[in-house]
Amino acid sequence: MAAAARTGVLLLAMGGPESPVEIQPYLQELLRDRRLVPLPGPAVFQELFARKISRRRAPQIAARYADATGGASPLNPITRRQAAGLEGRLRRAGGDWCVAPAFRYQPALTDESVRRLAEFRPERMVALPLYPFYSHATSGSSLEDARVRWAAGAPAGWAGEWLEVRDWSGEPGYLDWLAGRATAELERLGFAPAGAVVLPSVHGLPESMVRRGDPYRTQVDAAIAGLRARLGGWRVELGFQSKFGPGRWLQPYTDALIGRLAAEGVRDVLMVPLGFVAENLETLWDMDRVFAQQARDAGIGRFARLACPDDDPAFIEIMERLVRARLGG
C-alpha cells in the first residue's frame, strides 16, 4: 500500500478509573478478563467472582487513589497525551494520520475511539500495545479486544489492512531511554556504585502462565541484560511486583528483594519502573508509598524512583519508530 495511505493507530493501554465512582466498575471489568485472571469453570463463575471481589476491593483501592492521586488515575490523561503527541509527530513528517487511545477495561472509552477512527476512514490500521513485554494477559488480551471492537465498529465494508505490533521488547530505544535517565538521576542524587543498587521493578505474572509458554519472563530477562550492559559498573537487581491472588508468581518479589538488599548493607536504591510507560497506581502508590516506606524501615538510607516516560518527546519518538517499522518504512 502506498506510503500516503490514510493510517489509523490505536494505542492499547489498560486504562484507569477517572473518578472514584468508576473504581468498582473498572475492577469488575478487569477481573472478568479470563486472560488476566484465568479461573477454572464456566464464565458465569468468573462473572460472580469479578462482581464480588471488585465490590470488596473498591473501598481499599479508592483510599489509595485518594492518597496518591487525589482520587483518579492519571493513566488515561497521560495516554491521551501520548496519542496526541504521536499523531502530531506523524503528521509533521507528512501523511494523513489519526491516533486514538484504547483502554482495555473501559469499553465505552475504547468504542468512542473506534468511532473516531471509523469516521476518519483509514486505509490501514496499526494496533500498538503500550506494554513493552508481551504477555497473553496484557498485550494478548488488549490486541484481541482491539480486533473485536474494530471489526464491530469499522466503516461498513472496510477492506483495509489491519496490522499489530505484538511486542517491542527488542526496541533498543526504550532501554536507551531508561539507561540514560537512570544515569542522569544517579549522578544527580550523588549515588556511588559501591553502595547503591538500580532496582527495575516490573509487573509480575503467575509462574503457571510462563510454564504454559508465555514469553514475558524471557523478554524481561533480556531487557535486564540490556540495562546491565548500558549501565556499566552499576549493580542492577530485578524485582516483580503487584502479585494478587493465590499461587506462585515470578520472583524475586520486589518487597522481598528490598529486604534482602537492606540486609546486605545496601545504602541507596534507585527504582526503575520497567514496563510502565505512564504513571499509575502501581508507580505512585506501590513504588512511591509502599516500597519507599519499606526501604526506610529496613534501613536503606536513600530511596528514589525514576519517573515513567509519559509523554516525553523521546518516548513519543520511540512510538513513532514502532509504528513506521510495522508499516515497513
Q: Does pLDDT of 124 surpass 70?
A: yes
According to CATH, where is 3.40.50.1400 located in the chain? Answer: 172-305
User: 3-state DSSP call for residue 155?
Assistant: coil
- CB-based contact 147:38 (threshold 8 Å): no
pLDDT tens readout for residues 82-100: 999 999 999 999 999 999 9
Residue showing cell 528483594: 257
Q: Of the candidates 126, 129, 127, 20, which has an alpha carbon nearest to the alpha carbon of residue 66?
A: 20
Q: What is the pLDDT of residues 174-214, one digit of tens each?
A: 999 999 999 999 999 999 999 999 999 999 999 999 999 99
Euclidean distance between CA atoms 62 and 55, whole angstroms: 11
Dmax (CA) of the chain? 65
For domain 172-305, the CATH architecture is 3-Layer(aba) Sandwich (3.40)
CA distance 224 to 315: 19
pLDDT, residue 1, reads: 41
d(C-alpha 241, C-alpha 253), whole Å:
6
Q: Would you say residue 2 has pLDDT above 60?
A: no
